[in-house]
Amino acid sequence: FSFLLLGIVFLSRVGFLEIVRGDSFLERAETNYIREVTYETERGIILDRDKNPLTFNEIDENNEEKKWIRSYAAEGFLHSIGFVSRKENKYLAKGTSGLELVYDSILGGLPEKLIEEVSAVGGVVGSGITEKGREGNNILTSISSGLSLLLSRSVAKTAGIYGFSGGAAVVLNPQNGEV
């Protein structure tokens, strides 16, 4: 008896959805479409030996989508830290030189991917996560930010005195080879 009752309830619900709401479901199916949206997760921070940040992340407020902007210390580190680019994928910053490139798999994390149902006029009708994102991990370096800044300023001063357009210097720890 319970099987028969369950069958009647099921068939009446199917009938209601097909007969009463069928036209609205047909219209929705014909005018809506599905799109995949990728949201970038926060990139890991590069830290000096004293855990001072050498890179910074900010949310781009001028963008409709969630987009992280990577910024760097004003001087003294760019040659070793490197930088990121969105040349290959506008939704995902990738390291292209220096520590940003070497440790990209650690710093980068994984983007979050969503599927959105979009109406004919562009409004989001529904959405769901297809892949959960993961923020990037921080890395701790042996760089001394104070010493690097002094060295950078000293090289710039010396280059200015002798009319050079630039210069380079490296400080190594003779006990363990740290840069």
Q: Read off the pLDDT of residues 163-177 as tens digits, 9 standing for 90 and up.
A: 998 888 888 889 988
Q: Using a cut of 0.75, tell me whether the model's pTM lies above it.
A: no
Cα-Cα end-to-end distance for the chain: 81
Provide the pLDDT for residue 29.
67
**Tens digit of each residue's pLDDT (9 = 90 or more) over 61-117:** 776 667 889 999 877 777 889 999 988 877 788 999 999 999 999 999 888 888 888
Cβ-count burial 31-67 (b if 16+ within 10 Å, e if not): eeeeeebbbbbebbbbbbeeeeebbebeeeeeeeeeb
Beta-carbon contacts of residue 2 (< 8 Å; ≥ 6 apart):
none
C-alpha to C-alpha distance for 134 and 42, rounded to whole angstroms = 8
Structure confidence at residue 48 as a pLDDT band (50, 70, 90): very high
> What distance in Å separates the CA atoms of residue 156 and residue 148, rounded to the nearest whole number?
12
**Is a pLDDT exceeding 80 seen at residue 21?**
no
Q: Name the pairing type of β-strands 46-47 and 139-140.
A: parallel
Virtual torsion, Cα 152, 154, 159, 162, nearest 10 deg: -170
- Interacting residues of 170 by C-beta distance below 8 A, sequence separation 6+: 179
